[in-house]
């Protein structure tokens, strides 16, 4: 799978200035299935890898620093490992010598360049040069503090991709990232690969309704990136061929061949297998829009929970039954007060809210800053209340 055009110095300059207009971008396929590598096999990455494998039309591999995560992915979903029988080095298509693997954990930002943990008997792909699509699902929080954002691990794996991946491959970042990260990744890849941000909306408690396949947002670093990303995720012909023109007619000229799965311009010549994920995607005009969308979604959810916490504290201070008040409020069609529990936690909401607050030096959200303080007060109240209940000679259980 090679990109028909190469980026010249002029094209690179045009990309930086937003003037890049490729005339022809399409993939050449040798008839085999697309090789997809999902990097990070944790709470997000494993369902993604399983969905892609079950979808059909893809040769799906998984990659994680945790051998337990690799074993689980292989056992539960039949996800292939990436590795090397003899732990030898390989040379990628761009001439760079590369070690057999570098693993990124789904639950840590550490990088491991040792391949001793991988069983060569189940490995077919030995390095990154053999993959057509990379889907990055690594965590973007500090290893010792999941409430604080950090993308060091993600950038480490991008460096590995830059050294080994072949020209024209697709890199999709599904991890939540700060604004500006996608373009930084594109620069690290020397403009050789397509880069899109397709942030996940996966929710573990409602995986059937809000799993991998649901309406999502996608943005590309440049026009051809967005086209290829839409081909891979969505696959609907009208969306794939007209999306850029519909968003901004100034951004690009029509691409003559927009097929991710064939070197033929006739899509009827290649209908034997599905080569898109069938996920409805909402394309946006700039990749920063996709990056901002994800962190604002979670910041908004943080606000909703913080308001419920604040209302709970109000009720406690004024001897009002919170549960009854909440039920009464939620009878109105446009009101939905959430249930405060132990405080706002998890891998996403606190981290992504901080990510949003850090995204602008010119503006700081007062309401989000206050919401963080509310959550701190609520946690302290619950802790004190729990301590009083525990120390009581006749503890009352809620």
- Write out pLDDT tens, residues 172-220: 999 999 999 999 999 999 999 999 999 999 887 788 888 899 999 999 9
In the predicted model, what is the mean pLDDT of residues 318-345? 96
Are residues 20 and 223 in contact, defined by beta-carbon separation less than 8 angstroms?
Answer: yes
Are residues 1 and 194 in contact, defined by beta-carbon separation less than 8 angstroms?
Answer: no
Q: Which of 174-183, 262-271, 358-367 has the lowest mean pLDDT?
A: 262-271
Q: What is the pLDDT of residue 228?
A: 95
In the predicted model, what is the mean pLDDT of residues 336-352? 91
In the predicted model, what is the mean pLDDT of residues 145-159? 90
In angstroms, how far apart are the furthest CA atoms of the chain? 79
Q: What is the pTM of this model?
A: 0.76
CA-to-CA separations, 266 to 223, 262, 367, in angstroms, rounded: 22, 9, 53
pLDDT band at 6; cut points 50, 70, 90: very low
Domains in the chain, start-ordered, CATH in brackets? 9-285 (3.40.50.720), 293-391 (1.10.1040.10)
Which one, of 286, 146, 314, lies nearest residue 225 by Cα?
Answer: 286
Residue 83 tokens, joined: 């590795």
Distance CA(285)–CA(84), nearest Å, equals: 41
Of 10 and 52, the structure prediction assigns the larger pLDDT to 52
pLDDT band at 394; cut points 50, 70, 90: low
Q: What is the pLDDT of residue 247?
A: 55
Mean pLDDT of the chain: 77
């Amino acid at each position: 799978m090679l990109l028909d055009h190469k980026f010249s110095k002029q094209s690179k300059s045009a990309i930086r200035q937003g003037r890049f207009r490729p005339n022809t971008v399409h993939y050449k396929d040798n008839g085999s299935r697309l090789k997809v590598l999902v990097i990070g096999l944790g709470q997000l990455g494993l369902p993604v890898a399983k969905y892609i494998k079950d979808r059909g039309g893809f040769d799906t591999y998984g990659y994680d620093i945790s051998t337990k995560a690799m074993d689980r992915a292989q056992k539960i979903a039949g996800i292939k490992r990436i590795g090397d029988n003899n732990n030898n080095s390989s040379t990628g298509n761009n001439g760079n010598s590369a070690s057999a693997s570098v693993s990124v954990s789904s639950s840590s930002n550490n990088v491991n360049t040792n391949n001793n943990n991988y069983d060569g008997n189940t490995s077919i792909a030995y390095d990154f040069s053999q993959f057509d699509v990379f889907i990055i699902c690594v965590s973007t929080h500090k290893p010792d503090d999941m409430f604080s954002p950090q993308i060091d691990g993600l950038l480490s794996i991008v460096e590995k991709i830059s050294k080994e991946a072949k020209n024209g491959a697709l890199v999709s970042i599904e991890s939540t990232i700060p604004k500006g990260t996608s373009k930084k990744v594109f620069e690290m890849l020397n403009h050789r690969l397509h880069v899109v941000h397709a942030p996940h909306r996966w929710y573990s408690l409602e995986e059937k309704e809000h799993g991998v396949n649901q309406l999502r947002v996608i943005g590309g670093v440049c026009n051809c990136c967005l086209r290829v990303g839409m081909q891979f995720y969505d696959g609907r012909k009208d969306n794939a061929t007209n999306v850029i023109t519909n968003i901004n007619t100034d951004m690009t000229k029509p691409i003559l061949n927009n097929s991710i799965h064939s070197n033929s311009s006739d899509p009827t010549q290649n209908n034997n297998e599905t080569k898109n994920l069938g996920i409805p995607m909402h394309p946006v005009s700039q990749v920063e829009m996709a990056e901002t969308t994800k962190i604002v979604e979670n910041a908004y959810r943080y606000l909703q929970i913080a308001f419920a916490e604040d209302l709970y504290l109000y009720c406690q201070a004024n001897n009002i039954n919170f549960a009854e008040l909440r039920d009464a409020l939620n009878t109105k069609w446009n009101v939905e007060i959430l249930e405060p529990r132990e405080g706002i936690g998890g891998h996403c909401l606190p981290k992504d809210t901080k990510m949003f607050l850090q995204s602008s030096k010119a503006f700081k959200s007062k309401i989000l800053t206050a919401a963080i303080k509310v959550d701190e007060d609520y946690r302290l109240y619950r802790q004190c209340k729990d301590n009083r209940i525990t120390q009581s000679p006749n503890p009352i259980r809620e």
